[in-house]
Structure 1
Amino acid sequence: MASPSPPLPVLSTTILLLLLLLPHSAAGAGSGGSPAVNPFTAKAAFIRYWNRKVPNNRPHPAFFVSKLSPLPAAAAASFPSPLPDIRARLPALCSKAALLCPSGETASLEGRAAGAGGPFKGYSNANFTNYGTGGGAGADSFRNYSPDLNIAADSFRRYGRDSSGRDDRFESYEADGNVVTANFTSYAGGATGGSGSFAAYAAETNVPDSTFTNYDAAANGRGRGFASYSQEANHGENGFSGYGKNGNGLRETFTSYGNESNVMTSGFANYGESANGATDTFTGYGVEGNVPENTFRSYGAGGNAGVDTFKKYRDDANVGDDSFASYAKGANGGAAEFQSYGNSANPGSTTFKGYGEGTNPNHHIDFKEYAGENNTFKGYAKTGVDFKEYHNTSSTAAALTVSAEAAASGHRHLKWSPEPGKFFRERELVAGNRMPMPDIRDKMPPRAFLPRDIATKIPFEPNAVSEVFGVPLDTAMGKAVASTVAECQRAPSQGETKRCATSAEDIVDFAVEMLGNDIVVRSTASTAGGGGDIKLGRVTGINGGKVTRSVSCHQSLFPYLVYYCHSVPKVRVYEADIMAVDSDENINHGVAICHLDTSDWSPSHGAFIALGGKPGEVEVCHWIFEGDMTWTVAD
């Protein structure tokens, strides 16, 4: 008699276990599928989770799988729960989990004589606290300093204090960086003579944060130039607090400052306070910027014979806000000239509160060819103010005398526009059409998801993230964390359902909740063709080109991957072959989404500047950028 076969339940259990451990569609999935994955990893665990939640046997896209946590199973399973324990193991976690963490303590050059370590060419991440104190004539040059870094942190506190006749130059400083922080507190305090130059400073950076506190305070006869500062930077913040306080004969020039930047904020608090004979020039400041915001609070207060010039300030910018509170308050003989100020492409707002107030009658404030709109003048100096060729359509300024010539030339040519191809109309999505394609590169620093069981141990609030990752809240990264949390906590717009996903599992859960479990996720295949003209090949409407609902997810800046996901109603989603215009070679496969209902969008949205029309009048289409994604019901 033949031997009996093993009991069926044992075989079934073994096969089932093996099937669960193997990632679904891991082999033979084609170019868009995931490669074979070690079953004992956080990545494999997520893929099994995806298969249970979305059981439609579709390949897992490589762009999504590449973002999954690389943590080995043992590292993920043994990770401690209390936040101090997580903080203690942070260096190992950062390297094993591919997170965005500070690089640690920077090298200190404290106590070195000026010039002892320079020139600083190709240098990065250093602490120049108390560097060059009491130094004599000479120069320090920082060239190609901290380029292409993630979370660069440089400290120049009390740099060059009480020095004499010493120059410093910052050229190509922190260029192309991600989340860069620079601290210039009490820099060159009490110094005599010499000059400083910031040329091509923080160009094309993402989320720069520079602090100039008590910079050049009590200095004598120093000159400082900010030329091409934060050019084409994105979402940054610069603070000038107590800058030049109690200084004598200081000359500060801001030329091409923040030009073509995106959502840059600059604060000038107690700038030039009690200074003597200070001269500040803002020429070509914030030109063609997008939503710049500048605050001048107690600027030049108590100063003597200070002269400020704002020439071609915020020209051709989009929206933006300026606030001048207690500007030159209590000063003696203050002079300010606003020439061709506020000639923005799209109206912003400017508030002058307590400007030039005080008992001193020697001020001279001159608004020449001032083209501001939406302005408020409250508590303004009653004398010494001259408005020439002032153009303003707001009700507050209506009582001011405006020359007939200025009133007749009220319309301005609007130059500011988003990058070509960033927004387009649905009718352009046809085979054979030639069109510009924006730069769709993912400009966020590289990071991976945390496994959900680790991400849930870290409270989603700034103080907890600061504690775990050692990110001070007053740095660029700390402010980015706070901004991400605030955006996630914001109430949804009308018709929007939103959720911030702190893990890959959260994204899948939200997409299933909104669209059901038979869904597909898509993103543009690569960045090929971006920044130039392209030609469209075959164009296919998803779900037969019907109006549908999608879930779009956009990266947020955080130490680990966090996505802002929202369910978007009334859209059409398209796939398109992208071809080179000169050879018709297929170079990319794009995904585009068209928003059919724009009635709740802001009238100042860049789409309407680019395409014309108003909210609710036109549909707006855009490509899905690298790093972002959109989910739809499967065809």
Structure 2
Amino acid sequence: MDQIRLLCLFSIFYVASVVVGIGYANGADDGKFRMSYWNTAFPKSPLPSKAVQQLLNLAGETSNTGFGKQALNLAPEIPINSYGSSKEETPAEPDLTTFFQGQDLQQKGKTVTLRLLKPTSNKATLLSRQVAKSIPFSSSKLPEILTYFGVKPNSLAAGLMKQTIEECEAPAIKREGKYCLTSLESLIDFTVSNLGKDVGVYTTEAETDKKQEYSIETTGVQSIGDKIIVCHKENYVYGVFYCHIFYDRTTKAYMVPLVSADGATKAKAVAVCHMDTASWNPKNVAFRVLNKKPGNTVHVCHFLGTTSLLWVPM
């Protein structure tokens, strides 16, 4: 019985692989579909920046690295999306500015140290809805998933995949809705259902991926809004966006201009500030970094990475 079940599973995966292969072989047609779906969903919204288009692969560019274990980034960015997590995660590079407080955005001369990776650091491509639905995505199916993608159970890659699925399955914290979306259509539909058809979408953009000290240009800090959806691109064998929406509007977003000490390097970073952290797990790494405890007046801010998106109604 187990052999029959496994054979059926592999049959599904084979069909999915064929469909994905057709999509890659006809990148132009895939691009037309993606652009058409975007324009239909957001008829009042201009096309997003080139960085966002690249992240969503709106052009449908042919890729050999966006699907399968070769799409995994074995040195992922620091996970900052699990606000209710009980894990006390340790930043990979302790001298980076992982968290800060809201008043820092208005403090003249405030400096931050960031490593803003290239968007291509996460090569995983969003699948079509039809293909994404045909592939299991759950902890209970992890052994079969690893077998199909040729990932050894005790490897680093398997651990990253397991972590992504577990984060997606974890319950949302109070006043938050969270969803993991695995196709361009589902990502767009989720945004439309929550924000409408007139939206703006932002991501952090940088000129270099080297660790850099930046000064915040406080006079240029721009408030984006407090009705937002934040989507983090997860580390997985195909495109997965962990999206959450904050229903009480106590989370505010800003576009922050940054400039290096010598003025030679600039960046535009999306900052998200959580104005009420009372429902967060006390063991969250943010409180250790800031030497604070959860509270409705304790603000925790962080910059979004270059593989995250922020959506707001226009």
TM above 0.5: yes
Supply the distance in 1 between the matched residues of 2:237 and 2:68 (Cα, whole angstroms): 5
C-alpha distance in 2 between matches for 1:488 and 1:508: 18
Change (3 A) 1:469 1:594: same
Indicate yes or no: 2:50 matched with 1:62.
yes
How far the C-alpha of 1:471 sits from its partner, in A, is 2.8
Question: 1:589 maps to what in 2?
Answer: 268
Give 2:190's aligned residue. 510
Please report how far the alpha carbon of residue 598 of structure 1 lies from its aligned counterpart in structure 2 after TM superposition.
0.7
Aligned to 2:165: 485
Q: Where does residue 551 of structure 1 map in the other structure?
A: 229
Match of 1:457 among 134, 158, 173: 134
Distance (Å, rounded) in 1 between the aligned partners of 2:252 and 2:130: 35
Residues 231-284 of structure 1 deviation map (CA, whole Å, 9 limit, x = unaligned): xxx89xxxxxxxxxxxxxxxxxxxxxxxxxxxxxxxxxxxxxxxxxxxxxxxxx
Structure 1 counterpart of 2:131, one-letter code? I
Match of 1:599 in 2: 278
Whether the 8 Å CA contact 1:524–1:589 is kept in 2: the answer is yes
Q: Deviations over 1:511-570 (max 9, x none)?
A: 222222221111111264863322223111114xxxx22111112221111111111241
Spell out the pairing of 1:250-261 with structure 2 (5 A cutoff): none
Match of 1:429 in 2: 105
- 2:114 — aligned with what? 438
Choose from 224, 228, 247 the match for 1:542. Answer: 224
1:101 — aligned with what?
A: 69
What is the alpha-carbon distance in structure 2 between the residues aligned to residue 556 and residue 612 of structure 1? 28
Q: Offset of 1:420 from its aligned partner?
A: 4.1
User: Would you say the 8 A contact 1:488–1:500 is kept in 2?
Assistant: yes
Cα distance in 1 between the residues matched to 2:184 and 2:152: 26
Shift, 1:434, TM fit: 2.9
Alpha-carbon spacing, 1:71–1:528, altered in 2? closer, same or farther (3 Å): closer
Change (3 A) 1:56 1:560: same
Separation of aligned partners in 1, 2:43 and 2:69: 36
Which amino acid in structure 1 is aligned with residue 198 of structure 2?
Answer: D
| Structure 1: distance between partners of 2:143 and 2:33 | 30
* Partner amino acid, structure 2, of 1:598: T
8 A contact 1:450–1:561 mirrored in 2? yes
Please provide the CA RMSD for this pair. Answer: 3.3
The structure richer in helix per residue is 2
Contact 1:577-1:590 within 8 A present in 2 as well: yes
AA paired with 1:98? G
The unaligned stretches of length 5 or more in structure 2 are 1-25, 80-86
Return the offset for 1:45.
Answer: 0.8
Q: Which residue of 2 aligns with 1:50?
A: 38
**Rounded Cα–Cα distance in structure 1 between residues aligned with 2:39 and 2:107:** 35
- Gaps of at least 5 residues in structure 1 are 1-37, 73-92, 103-149, 152-177, 180-204, 208-233, 236-289, 293-316, 319-416
- Per the normalisation by structure 1, the TM-score is 0.39
Q: Does structure 1 retain, via aligned residues, the 8 Å contact 2:88–2:283?
A: no
Map residues 233-382 of structure 1 onto 2, 5 A cutoff. 291=88
Q: Is the 8 A contact 2:255 2:268 kept in 1?
A: yes
1:629 aligned counterpart, secondary structure? strand
Per-residue Cα deviation, 1:334-377 (whole angstroms, up to 9, x for no partner) = xxxxxxxxxxxxxxxxxxxxxxxxxxxxxxxxxxxxxxxxxxxx
Alpha-carbon offset, residue 605 of structure 1? 2.5
Bigger Rg, structure 1 or 2 = 1
Shift of 1:206: 5.2
- Report the equivalent of 1:572: 252
- Aligned residue in 2 for 1:611: 290
464 and 49 in structure 1: CA distance in 2 versus 1, 3 angstrom threshold: farther
Kept in 2: contact 1:69–1:450 (CA 8 A):
no
| Aligned partner letter, 2:109 | N
Deviation of 1:448 after TM superposition, in Å, equals: 1.7
- Please say if residues 480 and 557 of structure 1, whose CA atoms lie closer than 8 Å, have aligned partners that are also in contact: yes
Percent of paired sites with the same residue: 24
Deviation at 1:615, TM superposition (A): 0.7
Work out which structure has the larger RCO, using CA pairs closer than 8 Å and 6 or more positions apart in sequence: 2
What is the CA distance between 1:592 and its match in structure 2? Answer: 0.8
Of the three residues 443, 447, 453, the one matched with 2:124 is 447
Cα 1:419–1:514 shift into 2, 3 Å: farther
Measure how far apart 1:625 and its partner are. Answer: 0.8
Change (3 A) 1:582 1:557: closer
1:586 deviates by 6.3
Contact in 1 for aligned 2:99/2:289 (Cα 8 Å): yes
> Partners in 1 of 2:59 and 2:153 — Cα distance?
28
2:258·2:268 contact (CA, 8 Å) conserved in 1?
A: yes
Aligned runs of 1:182-193 on 2, under 5 Å?
none
In 2, are the aligned partners of 1:522 and 1:630 still within 8 Å (CA)?
yes
- Tell me how far 1:603 sits from its aligned partner: 2.2
Q: In the TM superposition, what is the alpha-carbon distance from 1:467 to its structure 2 partner?
A: 4.6
TM-fit CA distance, 1:588? 1.4
Instruction: Flag the 1:606–1:522 CA change in 2: closer, same or farther, 3 A.
Output: same
- Counterpart of 1:522 in structure 2 is 202
What is the deviation of 1:606? Answer: 2.6
The 8 Å contact of residues 45 and 200 in structure 2, kept in 1 or not, is answered as no
Cα pair distance change 1:98/1:608, threshold 3 Å = closer
